[in-house]
Amino acid sequence: MTVRVVCYARIRELVGADAIERTLPVGATVGDCFDDLTREVAGLAELGASTRFVRGTAFVDRATELHDGDELGLLPPFGGG
């Protein structure tokens, strides 16, 4: 299945793109998708504990199962205010 990964702020700079397509095995979770990406993107693993995830307009956690066509947002630590 294919998932579109949308990157924000510091993660966008690490990945070098606003969004990328990732092909994952059926049943893959948010955590699987992120961990898979850390193997290719230098510095991303260090953000693993503090990154949050969004699908649609709702936060999701690492255990959430992804589906073909999902758009997963990678949110580094917030800096509002």
Partner 1 sequence: MFDLVDRPFDMATLVAAVGDLGSGALVTFVGYVRERSDDGRPVTGLHYEAHRELALVELRAVGDDARARFAISRIAIVHRIGELALGEIAVGIAVTAPHRAAAFDACEFAINELKARVPIWKQERYVDGGVRWRENA
User: At closest approach, how far in Å is the CB of 25 from partner 1?
Assistant: 27
Q: Which is nearer to partner 1, 25 or 69 (CB)?
A: 69
Centre a 10 Å sphere on the Cβ of residue 56 and count the other Cβ atoms it contains: 10
User: At closest approach, how far in Å is the CB of 68 from partner 1?
Assistant: 21
**Which residues of the chain form contacts with partner 1 (CB under 8 A)?**
8-10, 50, 52, 54, 56-59, 73, 75-81
Q: Which is nearer to partner 1, 48 or 77 (CB)?
A: 77
Helix H, strand E, coil C: the string for 21-68 is EEECCCCCEHHHHHHHHHCCCCCCHHHCCCCEEEECCEEECCCCECCC
Distance CA(56)–CA(72), nearest Å, equals: 8
User: At closest approach, how far in Å is the CB of 51 from partner 1?
Assistant: 11
